[in-house]
Amino acid sequence: MRFISKVQSLLAFPRNKFQKCQQALSSTMSQKSLDISGIYPPLSTPYNKDESIAFDKLEHNLQKWNQIPFKGYVVQGSNAEWCFQSWEERVQVVREVAKLAAPGKLILAGSGCESTRETIRMGKEMAEAGAHALLVVNPFYFKDGMTSDALVAHFTAVADQSFVPIVIYNVPRNTGMNIPVDAIVRMAQHPNIIGIKDSGGDITRIASIVFATSSFDFQVLAGSAGFLLAAYNVGCVGGICALANVIGEEVCKLADLAQSGDSKAARDLQLRLVGPNSCVTSRFGVPGLKTAMEWFGYYGGPTRSPLQPLSDTNIQAMKAEFQKSQFL
């Protein structure tokens, strides 16, 4: 039935997209083998002063990021301010990053929407735009209705209709809820759901997910550089880390050290990353991330309204954290 459903979706797809999607369909049975291990920056979206997307600045940033040993890029994750973008903008940014990324870089595109129908449709557009996999945040507006059964039904429908693999995105700080572990274990058995990014920071929970899904060829990614070493120690295969936008080489170095057996060097670097990481995530958010990017030669630029720029006081506090950790 899943095969028939995919074929029906293809027949309804624009004719000029049929060949590419047909090729993706033929590889459906092997999509579990897509290796997503490694480090990914969840790219920020550069805006001009008028809040239009600055695609020239995106190219500038990618020229620098392409020199860092990232496994790939997450496009339209939380740091992209995707919730402030139109449908067309979300897809267009994926298309541009796919064009500008260095050869071999994986593109994970944030395609989550509140409804199952729109998530499926967005995923098809992003796959056509060049995404190798989709990062799908759970619906959360009607939290009380998002039971394990509802979430499993949602992600199953999305995965059944997707031409590329699905990575679940758990980000309780933004959604106000954790995807239940029992639901994750059920979804991990789907042939087209290959992993999860967990940004909650509860290492016990992450360890339980790794253990419970170990027989399903399911890959777990840490959602922050602040607990990256601990995540590797319990079996995660990589991380999607906001701090990698700013000091990507150091985040990649920590990943290497975590797998090298040099526990002291790994621990020392992890401790240095904690303060700066909190500045560009929970403490100052996207405005903090964009401010820090400017210090390291990237274009950060303004946020989109209603997000506001950092105050001078917060900028100085953030700079002090980077200096204390010897990154400035």
Inter-helix orientation angle 2-11/18-26, to 10°? 170
Among 169, 232, 298, 299, the one annotated catalytic: 169
Among 197, 232, 298, 299, the one annotated catalytic: 197
119-125, long-range: CB < 8 A, 24+ apart = 119/154, 119/158, 120/157, 120/158, 120/161, 120/162, 122/87, 122/90, 122/91, 123/158, 123/161, 123/162, 123/164, 123/166, 124/9, 124/13, 124/21, 124/161, 124/162, 124/163, 125/91
Q: Is 240 annotated as a binding residue?
A: yes
- CA dist 271 and 211 (Å) reads 26
Taking alpha carbons only, the member of 85, 2, 115, 77 closest to residue 289 is: 77
Spacing of C-alpha 252 from chain mean position:
16
| Three-state DSSP class for residue 167 | strand
The separation between the first and the last C-alpha atoms of the chain, rounded to the nearest angstrom, is 56
Query: Is 169 one of the catalytic residues?
Result: yes
Q: CA dist 96 to 67, 77, 82, 292, 298, Å?
A: 18, 15, 15, 23, 17
Annotated binding residues for pyruvate, written as ranges, equal: 240
**Any idea which residues carry the catalytic annotation?**
169, 197
Binding site listing: 240
